[in-house]
Amino acid sequence: MSQDEKDSTWLPPHLRELLGDVGSEKSRHVIKETLESTGKKIKTGRMGRAFGLSKVALRGGSRWLVDKARDSFSNEEEKQARSEQRGVEIATQMLKTFSEMRGAAMKIGQMLSYLDDMLPPEGQKILALLQRDAAPMPYEKVTAQFQRDFGKPPEDLYQHFEPTPIAAASIGQVHKAILHDGTPVAVKVQYPGIKEAMEADLKNAKFLGLFQQVMFFRTDTKAIMNEIQERLIDECNYLKEAEYQQIFYDRFQEHPSIVVPQVHHDLCGEHILTTTFHDGLGFYEWLATDPSQDARERVTKSFYRFYLGSFYLDGLFHCDPHPGNYTFLEDGRIVFFDYGCTRHFEESRRQLWIELCKAAMRDDRETFHKLAVPIGFFQEGQSYDREAFEGLIQYLYKPYLKDEPFDFRAHPPRDTFREMFVENANLFKLNMPADAVFLNRIGFGLVSLLSEIGSPLHCTHYASSYFEGFDPD
């Protein structure tokens, strides 16, 4: 057995396949140490959490400066190799830091793991561990959370409770258990101190927002921060998540391809969430089976129905599309998880966003401008570059410009970022409406997933049906 093979034997099979032989021996050692570490108390102080993030930024920046100096004496092949190695080392440091910090910091790492071109592929593989394979908390802390919510240990509430978690991510970890009637369930247990950690991250973000107010003076950062705070603090209350999940369960209970796990409300508390367990493949495991084009098309339709259909039909928006939130069942259905970050849009706001999409379908540029103030892009009477605004809306709604199937691989998130924040002539005039903060996850998170699935979708057909109030499938 080679040294590389020895180094990888500690990983479970799905992680060995995901990581392969990525990184140096030093990087693999740090990854191993991170995933095996348990019992570290989450830092909840503002200074400690700010220092953790700044440490990652400083290390990455210093490594970049050193490599840029070396590039002057290197050929293209050497530059590329250094860039890839730098990405692996930065991702490894991010994995270590974000795993310890959890909360909002870890969510940043999760997003970087699947947004194209933010890191080299090897770095993204490392950060993909944050989606469901982060280091777990020790069992005594799990028991303490049950005592906190129910006054009993898990062994008194379930016929069987597996002490080793099957997944661990940013807010909590998941254990498999069996109810007294024999029903298998998934039990999500929140990390102690995670709400305080989230609040510290948000306070730091508000402080940084003062600088954003100067740089992007038209953006209402207070409204945006309030929106983010409401969503993220909701995530820390599992009773709230249970309410949201029940709403989605009622909507999709009879759906042929979408599964929302049933909530067992009598075994839910502020820090404990119990739902029916479904066994299957994760997102990347499913892709590794090389699914047929028909299967990819069904999955693309299901993702679009769950996210955009829920928004356009009911004003419900699941704000956290990332690869760790799905299980693919043998019968072809998909289980959708993690309802803590959910937003319900008022009817008037839902209609405004629908009208903007309809205008994009018609290439009705005058309506773009009529909706710009009511939606909140600009203030009444404010001057702005009309042609640039038209171009931005056309780009953001590119899947709807033609009445034909759209290939999401032609709409990469890196281009969306460039259009919004680099080549936008209205950058210092355009306001980000508060309710658009999480809608932007469509332009980044969901599009990244649909690009990986690789099946075109006739978006205008499905959206038009949703606008009329029905699901065409």
Residues 345-367 pLDDT 10s: 999 999 999 999 999 999 999 99
One-letter amino acid for residue 112 of the chain: L
The verdict on residue 124 lying in a domain is yes
- If asked whether residues 207 and 67 sit together in one domain, one would say no
Q: What per-residue confidence (pLDDT) applies to 6?
A: 41
One-letter amino acid for residue 213 of the chain: Q
Nearest to 241 by CA among 193, 199, 189: 189
- If asked whether residues 121 and 205 sit together in one domain, one would say no
Query: Token pair 């680099």 is at which residue?
Result: 422
What are the distances in angstroms from CA 150 to CA 144, 163, 171, 232?
A: 10, 17, 20, 24
The verdict on residue 312 lying in a domain is yes
Q: Which residue has the higher pLDDT, 156 or 66?
A: 156
Cβ atoms of 272 and 145 closer than 8 Å: yes
Predicted TM-score (pTM) of this structure: 0.76
Residue range 167-177: average pLDDT?
Answer: 86
- If asked whether residues 351 and 441 sit together in one domain, one would say yes
Eight-state DSSP code of residue 308 = I
What domain range is 9 assigned to? 3-131
Q: What per-residue confidence (pLDDT) applies to 80?
A: 60
Q: What per-residue confidence (pLDDT) applies to 295?
A: 98
Q: Which residue has the higher pLDDT, 41 or 224?
A: 224
Cβ atoms of 127 and 103 closer than 8 Å: no
Chain CA centroid to CA 270, Å: 22
| Cα–Cα dist 123/440, whole Å | 24
Q: Which residues contact 440 (CB under 8 A, 6 or more apart)?
A: none
Query: 188 forms bridges with which residues in the sheet?
Result: 174, 273
What are the distances in angstroms from CA 427 to CA 120, 191, 377, 418?
A: 28, 39, 11, 11
Predicted confidence (pLDDT) at residue 55 exceeds the cutoff of 70: no
Q: What per-residue confidence (pLDDT) applies to 136?
A: 75
Query: Going along 381-430, which residue ranges are E strands?
Result: none
- If asked whether residues 318 and 402 sit together in one domain, one would say yes
One-letter amino acid for residue 313 of the chain: L
Band of the pLDDT at 77, cuts 50, 70, 90? low
The verdict on residue 184 lying in a domain is no
| Cα–Cα dist 175/196, whole Å | 23
- If asked whether residues 374 and 226 sit together in one domain, one would say no
Cβ atoms of 268 and 239 closer than 8 Å: yes
Q: Which residue has the higher pLDDT, 89 or 421?
A: 421
- If asked whether residues 387 and 465 sit together in one domain, one would say yes
The verdict on residue 205 lying in a domain is yes
| Cα–Cα dist 223/226, whole Å | 5
The verdict on residue 155 lying in a domain is no
The verdict on residue 389 lying in a domain is yes
| Cα–Cα dist 110/104, whole Å | 10
- If asked whether residues 101 and 208 sit together in one domain, one would say no
Structure tokens at 327: 């299980």
- If asked whether residues 60 and 122 sit together in one domain, one would say yes
The tally of domains found in the chain comes to 3
Q: pLDDT of 263-322, one tens digit each?
A: 999 999 999 999 999 999 999 899 999 999 999 999 999 999 999 999 999 999 998 888
| Cα–Cα dist 161/335, whole Å | 22
Judging by beta carbons within 10 Å of its beta carbon (0-12, 13-18, 19+), is residue 330 exposed, middle or buried? exposed
Q: Which residue has the higher pLDDT, 15 or 159?
A: 159
- If asked whether residues 331 and 415 sit together in one domain, one would say yes
- H-type alpha helices, 236-364: 238-252, 283-288, 293-304, 310-314, 347-362
- If asked whether residues 396 and 471 sit together in one domain, one would say yes
Cβ atoms of 416 and 444 closer than 8 Å: yes
**Percent residues over pLDDT 70 in the chain:** 66
